[in-house]
Structure formats: C-alpha cells, structure tokens
Amino acid sequence: MSPIPATASTDGLRDPRRTAALIVAVGVFSALHVGKLPPAIPVLSRELGLTLVQGGFLLALIQMAGMGLGAVAGMLADRLGPRRVMLSGLGLLGLGSALGAAVPSPGALLATRALEGLGFLLAVLPAPGLLRRELHAPAVLNQALGFWGAYMPIGAATALLLGPWVYAEWGWRWGWTALAAGTWLCALWVWRWVPADPAHGPARGPGMWVRLSDTLTSAGPWLVALAFLMYSGQWLAVVGFLPTIYTQAGWSPGAVGLLSATAAGVNLTGNIAAGRCLAAGVLPVTLLGWGYACMAAGAFWTFQGWGGAAAQFVAVLVFSAVGGLIPGTLFALAVRLAPGAHAVSTTVGWVQQLSSLGQFVGPPLVAWLAGWVGGWHLTWTVNLACCAAGGLLALALQRRLTAPGR
C-alpha cells in the first residue's frame, strides 16, 4: 500500500502505512475462510456424507451472522473499541476452523461454520473504523478504504484457486487446520502492531443503543446500506453460479476453477480504482453510475450468450471488475456519512447487515428464476432491476453529500 505516507501513528512509534496494510491483510486472510468451502463440498460429500442441501446451508451460514448481527457487532466495536473486537473475531474464526477440521459429521460441521461466521463478522467489521482512526488525511483514507473494499474478492478468489490443490495434496482437514493457525497468527500481528484502543474514549462516548439509534435515524447509513444490498446480491448470484454455468457448458474442472477464480478476483481492480478516483476528486455518483451500468450490461451479455464463450467471459470480467467500483466507493461513503465518529463501526455494521442480506437472498432468487423459465437467459432481469435501484440510490447519495448541514 505504497500510496499511504509513512507518518507516525497515534502512539508516535508505529507506521500507519504498515498498520493499514496489516488491517487489509487481515481481511484478505479472513476471506479465505469464505472461499475455502466451495472447493471442499465434493470432498465433504465423499468423506462425511454431506448432502447438497447441507452444503447450501454451509455456504449460507457465513452470511447469517452478518445478516442478523451486523449492526449489533458494529455497536460493540464502537463501544468496546475496534481493535478489541477484531482480536476477538480472529480468535473465534480460528477456533471455528480448528474445530471444523476435527468434526465427525455434517451436523457438527454446521455448528463450527456458524462459529466461523460470527468470528468472520467480528474480524472484518471494525476494519474501516480502525483505518479512519489511523489515517487522518481524507485522500489517503479513501485510498486505504479502496484497498479494503478488495479484501473479499482477493481472499475468496485465492481460496477458490488453491483450495482444490491443497485438498488433493493434504486433505481438507489439514487445510482448515492451517487456516486456523494462520488466523491466530494474524491476531498476534494485530495485537503487536495495531495501536491499542483508547483506554476511556469508547466507554465515555454515547451508549450502544444511542449509537444504533443515531445510525438508524440518519438517511446516509440507510442509503449506503441499500446501495450495497443492490450490489452484493447480484454479484454473488453471477459469480457464485459461474462454476455451474461453465460445467453445464462442458468446460473441464480445471478450467472452471481458473475462470471462476479470475472472475471473482478481478473485482479487486474496481475496488482499488475507486479509492484512487475518490482521492483524485471524482464524484461518488460517477463511480457508482459506471459500476451499476456495467454490471447491468455485463450480466445481460453473459446470460444472453452472444458471441460465444470468450465474449461471455469478457462480459463477466467487465461485470465484476467495473462493478468493483461500487463497494470501494460505498465503504468510503459509509465512513463519511456516519452520524458521527462515535458511530462509524455501527454504520459499517448496518451496511454489512444489508450486504449479507443481499448475498443471502440474491443467489436463491436467481436460481428460482432460472428454474422457472428453464434456463439462465432471463436471469439478467434481476441484475437490471438491482442496477436501476442502485442508480437511483446513487443520485440520492450525491444529494445527501451536497446537502447543507448534513
């Protein structure tokens, strides 16, 4: 993260550039736990007798904590301190992975996956608040938040790409054990290098329910969260079903894995570009408009099947890469439109809650439509509806940003 200047942090000893890079790295490593499951499902089916329905629940459980507890976890981060909550989350995430590596049955694996979901939420949700605390120049903070917006595609794509090879060489149990150890190592690095939360700052601020009330009665957090919902559900629906679509098209398993990982990973380019563009003064509505427009066009081209497999894959890359402008922009807006410094993590938690809702609802909706019409050729209509709503929300966000006395 070279654009971040090496100035002294709040304790006068640590480098905020290194701190910010570590926070982003923690997010990437945490996202490996999200991406580790899809390649493991065939193995789990053979070894534990995992059914397809149970596999679907395993995929959804990582979002359940965020969907139900995002705002509450944000309140905890604002009240107790983001570093403390991140350390707790990393501990739980590693514990869930370690216990999951030793389970004898699918039922026990579901329980450990739920624990991982809670740990994942607590590990990643405080990150924007930590970045805001460490990086005070708005341009530098926008760049860092752009990098942060890429944590999920980087981690998920890495796991999708390397997971099949790791499981074939060492087995899924050793793979999950290694991830647990790596997660605890991340916690050690956070404890060592991220400055401690102020001893009294969070506790002397407003109470947790005041923070939640301030967040939910402000227009800004709602607009950002709804805009994120319109993005997250359709992105996961398209990228999540790519393996199925390419398998049905007759591609080999190796090609399916590589293409799916590439489509997920390219999303990071838009996230990083969003941070740089915001730092250069580009209006958020411009970035959001391009993101939603290219997602609509890319989904339409992909599901219509024009131009053959190569053209469809290019359309998917446009959908994911340019669509990455949206989360990179919205993370920055969540920090800017929080009702105050006391509610940054609560606001991010609310955004996470609606983002998780989109990821939970979007794929089943697209799958239902594909089954109802007998193919994928009309599923782009879901994307078009989401992008149209997202465009209207982008205009409302721009008006909110320019409103006097906001």
Residue 353 in any domain: the answer is yes
1: confidence class by pLDDT, cuts 50, 70, 90: very low
Answer whether residue 2 is part of any domain: no
Instruction: Decide: helix, strand or coil at residue 171.
Output: coil
- Cβ atoms of 321 and 297 closer than 8 Å: no
Q: Is the pLDDT of residue 393 over 70?
A: yes
Q: What is the pLDDT of residue 116?
A: 93
Mean local confidence (pLDDT), 7-17: 51
The answer, yes or no, to whether residue 8 has pLDDT greater than 60, is no
**Structural domain includes residue 7:** no
**291 pLDDT exceeds 90?**
yes
Over residues 13-24, mean pLDDT: 78
In a domain, residue 21? The reply is yes
Residue 98 falls within a domain, yes or no? yes
Q: Is residue 9 in some structural domain?
A: no
CA distance 171 to 268: 29
More confident residue, 14 or 375: 375
For 134-187, how does the pLDDT look when each residue is reduced to its tens digit (9 = 90+)?
Answer: 887 777 787 887 788 778 888 888 887 888 788 888 999 999 999 999 999 999
Residue 405 pLDDT grade (very low, low, confident, very high; cuts 50, 70, 90): low
Mean pLDDT for 282-298 is 96
Top-confidence residue, 343 or 23: 23
Highest average pLDDT, of 106-110, 188-192, 233-237, 356-360, comes from: 188-192
Q: What average pLDDT does the chain have?
A: 84
Q: Which residue has the higher pLDDT, 14 or 81?
A: 81
The pLDDT of residue 347: 87
More confident residue, 263 or 292: 292
Distance between CA 150 and CA 122 in Å, rounded?
18
Determine, yes or no, domain membership for 11.
no
Q: Specify the higher pLDDT residue, 38 or 3.
A: 38
Domain membership of residue 84 as a residue range: 16-402
Most confident of 86-100, 120-134, 339-353: 86-100
Find out whether 154 and 268 touch, Cβ atoms under 8 Å.
Answer: yes
Residue 96 vs residues 43, 100, 134, 180, 296: alpha-carbon distances, Å: 19, 6, 30, 8, 37
Q: What is the CATH number of the domain that holds 271?
A: 1.20.1250.20
pLDDT at 406: 57
Number of domains in the chain: 1
Neighbours of 184 (CB within 10 A): 17
Q: What is the pLDDT of residue 5?
A: 40
pLDDT for position 10: 42
How far apart, in Å, are the Cα atoms of 378 and each of 249, 297, 366, 383?
Answer: 17, 13, 9, 10
Query: Of the candidates 155, 150, 158, 162, which has an alpha carbon nearest to the alpha carbon of residue 321?
Result: 150
Q: Output the pTM of the full model.
A: 0.76
Residues in the chain: 406
Q: What are phi and psi of 14, to 5 degrees?
A: -95, 155
> Taking residues 83-100, what's their average pLDDT?
95
pLDDT in tens, 199-232: 655 445 566 677 778 888 899 999 999 999 999 8
In a domain, 52, yes or no: yes
DSSP assignment string, 163-217: HHHHHHHH-HHHHHHHHHHHHHHHHHHHHHHSPPPPSSHHHHS--HHHHHHHHHT
> What is the reported pLDDT for 3?
43
Q: Summarize pLDDT for 242-285 with one digit per residue, the tens.
A: 776 776 777 776 777 788 888 888 998 998 899 889 988 999 99
What pLDDT score does 128 carry?
84
